Amino acid sequence: MDQKVRERDRGDRSAEWFVPTFGPQKFRIMMGLLFLPYTAMVLAFCVIGSMLADPIHWDRVFSIVGIYFLGLGVAAHALDALGGKGDKPWGSVFTRPQLWGMALTALALAYLIAIYFMVLYVPWLSFVAILEGFFVFAYNLEWFHGRFHTDKWFAFSWGFLPVLAGYIMQTNRVSTEACVFGLSMALFSAVEIKASRPYKALRKRSSTLKENEKDLMARYEAILKSISLGVILLAVGFSIWRIFH
């Protein structure tokens, strides 16, 4: 815990609330790099979209979750660490070649799974695959002068599209209800990113924060914890309801 306090005092992101306090540094940084609570939110969006279908193909539910875990949880976050314009929020534990290798390997695996389903069952998934493939680079590497690195595009790419992907994976079509659910999850994503940006700014200078700023940072952290857990529980509850009804 003393190590965690030292990291917090110097604004190190390895002191984030979602980074484990146990294990070697490389393990802790890897867990931080995955942004597990936020990744789990996106996986929950995929599940919610899947649960709108009838019948439900559970193998496809697990597959779309795996695709997004690899594509977002691993690849997008590794690219985000590469696209920081000199800012290394996770330090130098992972080198640039390691991060590139991590990102490209995860993306290749994600697309291999997706292509299998697109060829055999759900060709409409290719629509989402193309868009997400664009955003995973354009957003995280801040292509086009950061034009797509905005809160609105974040909400669209990691809120709206995952719901649509989950539904398309089940049905090979788009529906009004899936779009409405996608819009609602996009708004949750917007709240998350709106709270995350000022929280990160405060975290970077945590050693010099005044008391009222520390209280503000704690409020942002509470918002982030609540919204991530709330969305995850919504997906779990929705899944349980579909299993038993």
123-152 pLDDT, tens digit each: 999 999 999 999 999 999 999 999 999 999
Query: CA-CA distances (angstroms) from residue 100 to 89, 107, 113?
Result: 16, 11, 20
Domains delineated in the chain: 23-244 (1.10.600)
| Residue-level pLDDT, tens digit, the chain, 245 residues | 445 544 444 446 777 889 988 889 889 999 999 999 999 999 999 999 999 999 999 999 999 999 999 999 999 999 999 875 555 667 778 999 999 999 999 999 999 999 999 999 999 999 999 999 999 999 999 999 999 999 999 999 999 999 999 999 999 999 999 999 999 999 999 999 999 999 988 888 777 888 888 899 999 999 999 999 999 999 999 999 999 98
Helices 161-171, 176-204: crossing angle, 10 deg rounding: 140
As a whole number of angstroms, the distance between CA 102 and CA 79 comes to 9
Residue-level pLDDT at 88: 61
- What is the helix (H) or strand (E) element at residue 124, kind and residue range? none
As a whole number of angstroms, the distance between CA 143 and CA 188 comes to 25
Nearest Cα neighbor of 16 from 37, 30, 32 is 32
As a whole number of angstroms, the distance between CA 195 and CA 146 comes to 20
Please list, in sequence order, all residues whose beta carbon lies within 8 angstroms of the beta carbon of residue 146, skipping any fewer than 6 positions away: none
Residue-level pLDDT at 14: 77
Q: Where would I find the H helices in 172-210?
A: 176-204
Residue-level pLDDT at 238: 97
Residue-level pLDDT at 127: 97
Phi, psi at 225, each rounded to 5°? -65, -45
Tokens of 90: 């996770």
Instruction: Provide the CA 109 distance to its chain's centre, in angstroms.
Output: 17
Specify the pTM.
Answer: 0.92
3-class secondary structure, 60? helix
What dihedral angle (degrees, nearest 10) is formed by the CA atoms of 204, 208, 213, 218? 60
Residue-level pLDDT at 12: 61
Residue-level pLDDT at 108: 98
As a whole number of angstroms, the distance between CA 196 and CA 190 comes to 10
Neighbours of 220 (CB within 10 A): 19
Q: How is 21-59 classified by DSSP, letter by letter?
A: SSS-HHHHHHHHHTTHHHHHHHHHHHHHHHHTSSS--HH
As a whole number of angstroms, the distance between CA 89 and CA 14 comes to 8
The identity of residue 17, as a single letter, is W
